[in-house]
Structure 1
Amino acid sequence: MPGSSGNGAVTRSTLRQQIADALRDEVLAGRLQPGQEFTVKEIAEQYGVSATPVREALVDLSAQGLLEADQHRGFRVHEYSLADYRGIIEARSLVIDGMFHALDGGHQGFVHDPDNSRVLAALAGVRRRGEEAQRAALAGDVIVLIGYDLRFWRELSAVFGNSYLADFLHRLRVQSWVCAVQHLRRLTDLRGQLWAEHTELVDALVHRDTTAAREIVAAYHAHSLAVVERLAGG
């Protein structure tokens, strides 16, 4: 029956996304480590599901740069180099700077909000997310921080009205966290090591102060790169 077929497709699609999200969290938490290999069968047995949604989820994560597919061995967690991290940070900088042009030139989402009410309401929600991220960063809880930080940047980028840039930035941020976690897990105490100026960035954007916002982001990227370079150097 058409209805049954459609429901089955929706269920499989939802399961595919749930598995992809769960595995992404495992990689971000460092529980699935760089170079670790596994097969579709192993993951399907672990989650108690059929192979099809697992294979689709793993292909999705491969397309996002988190896994590598091997025709004979299955999949392995992608291992990012320091050069990769530098490239990701550079790309992240360019995307964020492009978003800030919405404030400089009145483009994208901001042009449709002449009284600023929609933008301010959205930024208020983003700021609350930033407060949670800051608390996690100051406490050195990188797992909690990653969750709030990804949501913070996802919601912040959505304010600028360009879904393509928002999606690309989210992908870059996931990849940069995967790379950073590979090094951060070497530290037993992360307090004082993690960037925690989310609310300062939002406050600058509320005032449409793109100069201050760019300075905050530049300092953030310099800080992140310095930490990873120091850890990668031994």
Structure 2
Amino acid sequence: MRQSAHGSAETGIPQVRPTASRVPPQPVAADVDRERGVAAGGATRGEHTHSEQPIPGPRPVQRASVRGQILAALRTALVAGELKPGEVYSAPALGDRFGVSATPVREAMQQLALEGAVEVVPNRGFRVVERGTRELAELSEVRALIEVPVMLRLARAVPVERWAELRPSAEATVRAASTGCRATYAESDRAFHRAMLSLSGNEQLVRISDDLHRRAQWPLVGGAAGRGELMADAAEHTALLDALVAHDLDLVRALVGRHFAGAS
């Protein structure tokens, strides 16, 4: 999954070759302006609107879709280690790789900056934040404070058959871990935790926990988890689900505590 970054001959800024496919082309400014004029009830020269109902044009929606695709691709590149901690990446260089302009890349990077994944470097681009074990430990502690009490409460309240329905999700994490691809595993790992927490019926809890989980998945300086670590983490999912189905609350308490103690 890892791909090497190459410096640009003109800027010297590393570039990354993302695994995502090229994004559909963005609308040109003239098209967007024309559509906005119609949506506002105006008419472009030579057109007759009369009593026609204004129809919103699809292109602004497409731009939002492009930005979302770029954000997802950049998050994947972060987890996979394609965007390396401490390196600076420019929006134009990344835009060239994705086949889009620098604008949606810059907007996506601004979102990642808000999440703490990158920091803005004036006149250069964005630097991937270098994370240490202390930050990871702090994230794990916060996740445990939020999720462990909820999981223990759900273990007592949720019917066994509801836990059994999560079996495919738990098995999916094992398959993803067996690939050794951290980005693939990260998606299935978060999906499993979301599925479990969603049984609480608290959407805000699920959203906040998922955000903390995503942050905890960014690789540390010096490398990411290997296949063996991913397999061990996935095995804890299936063991926890077995304990929940068996309604073994003591084992659930022990497994949940152990899982978050080694969360990554």
In the superposition, the TM-score normalised over structure 2's length comes to 0.69
Q: Tell me the equivalent position of 1:21.
A: 72
Kept in 2, the 8 Å contact 1:140–1:192? The answer is yes
Q: 1:36-93: per-residue Cα shift (whole Å, max 9, x none)?
A: 2112211222111123322221111222222212233221112111110110110110
Kindly indicate whether residue 219 of structure 2 is the aligned counterpart of residue 190 of structure 1. Answer: no
Instruction: Determine the C-alpha separation between the residues in 2 that align with 1:178 and 1:130.
Output: 21
Instruction: Determine the C-alpha separation between the residues in 1 that align with 2:105 and 2:179.
Output: 35
Per-residue deviation at 1:222?
A: 2.9
Cα-Cα RMSD: 2.9
**Percentage identity across paired residues of the two chains:** 31
Instruction: Determine the C-alpha separation between the residues in 2 that align with 1:20 and 1:167.
Output: 17
Q: Tell me the equivalent position of 1:132.
A: 172
Q: Tell me the equivalent position of 1:7.
A: 58
Instruction: Determine the C-alpha separation between the residues in 2 that align with 1:66 and 1:202.
Output: 31
Compared CA separation, residues 194 and 8, structure 1 to 2 (3 A): same
Instruction: Determine the C-alpha separation between the residues in 2 that align with 1:217 and 1:19.
Output: 34
Task: Select the residue among 216, 222, 228 that pairs with 1:176.
Answer: 216
Instruction: Determine the C-alpha separation between the residues in 2 that align with 1:43 and 1:54.
Output: 7
Task: Note the residue ranges of structure 2 that are not aligned, 5 or more in a row.
Answer: 1-37, 40-53
Per-residue deviation at 1:218?
A: 1.4
Q: Which moved more, 1:134-143 or 1:213-222?
A: 134-143
Compared CA separation, residues 204 and 182, structure 1 to 2 (3 A): farther
Compared CA separation, residues 207 and 40, structure 1 to 2 (3 A): same
Kept in 1, the 8 Å contact 2:148–2:257? The answer is no
In the TM superposition, what are the counterparts of 1:15-164 in structure 2 within 5 Å? 15-100=66-151, 102-103=153-154, 116=159, 120-121=161-162, 123-137=163-177, 140-164=180-204
Greater per-residue helix proportion: 1
Q: Tell me the equivalent position of 1:212.
A: 251
Q: 1:73-123: per-residue Cα shift (whole Å, max 9, x none)?
A: 2211121111101101101101112423643786xxx6xxxxx4xx844x4
Query: What is the identity, as a one-letter code, of the residue corresponding to 1:30?
Result: G
Query: What is the identity, as a one-letter code, of the residue corresponding to 2:73?
Result: A
Instruction: Determine the C-alpha separation between the residues in 1 that align with 2:172 and 2:221.
Output: 19
Compared CA separation, residues 87 and 104, structure 1 to 2 (3 A): same
How many residue pairs get matched?
212
Work out which of the two has the higher radius of gyration on C-alpha atoms and give 1 or 2.
2
Is the partner of 1:166 in helix, strand or coil? helix
Per-residue deviation at 1:210?
A: 4.7
Instruction: Determine the C-alpha separation between the residues in 1 that align with 2:143 and 2:216.
Output: 9
Is the partner of 2:100 in helix, strand or coil? coil
